[in-house]
Amino acid sequence: MKRSHIIAIVVIAIAAAIIISSTGDAGTYVTFDQAKEMAASGKSNDIHVVGQLLKDDAGHITGIRSSADNMSFTFVMVDEKSNQQMVYYNEPMPPDFMRSEQVVVIGGYKENDVFVADKILLKCPSKYQEETVEASI
């Protein structure tokens, strides 16, 4: 085998190893209970939790508190198993946060049983949702 073929195979193997190692836990969502277990075992960053904002019986979002300077805020999120958790985000509230259907917080437990989010991803209602249109002739 030629030396150039061996080098090409080694480069491809290294690239494949990098891709596999970087996508090992991407896209895995956990509940807040699982996130606490992960934090207790030493993983305190890049935990992905998906859920919804806490709503009252009338459907209004509750549990959101902004800081005095509006540069950070806390909110209550409900995960897939109906566990409620206070989440702290050290950035201003994202646009359309109050309209989001689902929220993904990426971060971890750092202090006082509060989940500290480094990133927030929102799934907002689509303006392109299919609607039934009735036409009269």
- Residue range 73-87, pLDDT digits in tens: 999 999 999 999 999
Q: What percent of the chain has pLDDT over 70?
A: 83
Range of the domain at 45: 28-123
Q: How many domains does the chain have?
A: 1
> Is position 8 within any domain?
no
The token duo for 92 is: 């201003």
The helix/strand/coil state of 73 is strand
- The CATH number linked to 40 is 2.40.50.140
> Is position 2 within any domain?
no
Integer angstrom CA distances of residue 104 from 49, 74, 75, 107, 114: 6, 14, 13, 10, 16
Identify the band that residue 5 occupies on the pLDDT scale cut at 50, 70 and 90.
confident
> Is position 41 within any domain?
yes
Q: Which residue has the higher pLDDT, 15 or 86?
A: 86
> Is position 131 within any domain?
no
> Is position 14 within any domain?
no
